Amino acid sequence: MTNIGKHFLLKSSIDSFKYRIDLHKVKVIDKNLLDCLITQTINSATGEVISSRELKLNSLKPEFDFYHIHFAINDLFGEKFLVILINSKLLQNEYLNGMNMSNIHIIYNRIMECKIIDISFEDFLLGLVSDIDIKKDFELDIDSFKNVINTLYQNTKPTKQSKYGVNKFTQEQNIGIQWNQRENATAKHPFLKLYHKEVEAKHGTNKEFFYNYIDLKQTKNVVRCEATIRSSKELKMYGIQGNRLIDILKASESDLSKVIERAIDLNIEPRLKIAKVKNGMSATETVIYGFISHMILNDNLSFENVLIQILRYFDMSDEKDKATKKKRAKKLLISIYEEHINGQISEVKAKKLDTFFSNFGWS
């Protein structure tokens, strides 16, 4: 078991995808594969799967220790394609890193070990991918994460269609929140999921995988976010110009992060809102104290962010002496904060959540 540290935190990478390539480019070794036919309808322009039978129910499934790989043949208008469901569990003890150009050879070798098909590494990289899951990991304890779930749930954008929406998960084996379903997610209603990896590693259906390949210390206080790219049309939105495997592997971490950021923007209301300035507004220390406390306790903001939001009001003013008033207000706010609020448990909690939300990309 390799101790990989937690250098995977805050880095967007590829978690899984559906892979397909023309069957004539592949040598079939295990003839049982030819019996694993599935029917899929694919938009030839975008590569998006429009409808499909459940691939997992009709595939050749060689099993490794505590995970497996699905192989099938897709018959598309008389033309046959090899289809493989590939996920980062194939990396075994490098699982938490996600897939990238530096470790894709491990994936390739694992597929070759199955002795079901044979394909050169170069041709393998030219296969097409869809239903790509992008993941990013953060650090937060379980109790604080439950507060995150409630906050995000309360700030979810409403939807008029019943097939879209948000769900919270609070079971022993799954603590998280999810927007939309993978199967019916669209570019306008993207799939987004946030869940606690420590809980999954200890209690989830894949716990045997984690116990055998991952140092569980590396999953402690780890929260994972996942978002999905369904088609080649969506790939172009993120600056990725092709839907070949090599195109995805060459995508920058910044481009992959855009997938998660866009899913957040489309599913969750903006986090910080500036109210319209009211001229002639006065305040006592009690009112100011109550206002700061409310934003820390209910909006999960740190005092630093509260200060920024309040002082922005002065920037929007046209008064000539606004700089002087802003300086006085800042001094008063800091004085009240340091004397009555600083160091309270609520403030410590708010700073922790504020850091998480910023790293998550909710702004």
Whole-number Å distance between alpha carbons of 261 and 238: 11
Higher-confidence residue: 3 or 176?
Answer: 176
Could you tell me which residues are beta bridge partners of residue 129?
Answer: 19
What pLDDT, on a 0 to 100 scale, did the predictor assign at position 54? Answer: 54
Higher-confidence residue: 9 or 74?
Answer: 9
Whole-number Å distance between alpha carbons of 107 and 124: 10
| Whether 173 and 317 share a structural domain | no
The token pair at 326 is 């802003």
Domain boundary among 236, 267, 298: 267
Q: Is 273 a member of any domain?
A: no
What pLDDT, on a 0 to 100 scale, did the predictor assign at position 277? Answer: 34
**Side-chain half-sphere CA neighbours of 106 within 13 A:** 16
pLDDT cut 70: percent of the chain above it: 87
In 3D, which of 260, 263, 259 has the Cα closest to residue 188? 263
| Whether 246 and 354 share a structural domain | no
* Res 52 pLDDT > 50: no
Digit-coded pLDDT (tens) for 214-238: 999 999 999 999 999 988 888 988 9
pLDDT band for position 35 (50/70/90)? confident
| Whether 305 and 259 share a structural domain | no
Q: What is the chain's mean pLDDT, rounded? A: 86
pTM: 0.77
| Whether 26 and 95 share a structural domain | yes
Whole-number Å distance between alpha carbons of 292 and 307: 9
Q: Is 7 a member of any domain?
A: no
* Res 194 pLDDT > 60: yes
> For 224, phi and psi rounded to 5 degrees?
-110, 140
Digit-coded pLDDT (tens) for 267-306: 998 875 433 333 444 456 778 778 887 787 677 778 888 8
Digit-coded pLDDT (tens) for 295-305: 876 777 788 88
pLDDT band for position 5 (50/70/90)? low
pLDDT band for position 354 (50/70/90)? confident
Domain boundary among 239, 267, 295: 267
Number of domains in the chain: 2
Three-state SS at 26: coil
The answer to whether the CB of 246 falls within 8 A of the CB of 126 is: yes
What pLDDT, on a 0 to 100 scale, did the predictor assign at position 120? Answer: 97
* Res 101 pLDDT > 80: yes
Which of 13-27, 127-141, 309-323, 334-348 has the weakest average pLDDT? 334-348
Q: What is the average per-residue pLDDT within 6-31? A: 95
What pLDDT, on a 0 to 100 scale, did the predictor assign at position 278? Answer: 36
| Whether 261 and 289 share a structural domain | no
| Whether 79 and 210 share a structural domain | yes
Q: Is 2 a member of any domain?
A: no
Whole-number Å distance between alpha carbons of 249 and 100: 5
Whole-number Å distance between alpha carbons of 272 and 47: 37
| Whether 226 and 294 share a structural domain | no
| Whether 302 and 262 share a structural domain | no
Q: Domain span at residue 353?
A: 285-360
Q: Is 100 a member of any domain?
A: yes
Whole-number Å distance between alpha carbons of 340 and 309: 20
pLDDT band for position 203 (50/70/90)? very high
Q: What is the average per-residue pLDDT within 188-204? A: 95
| Whether 232 and 316 share a structural domain | no
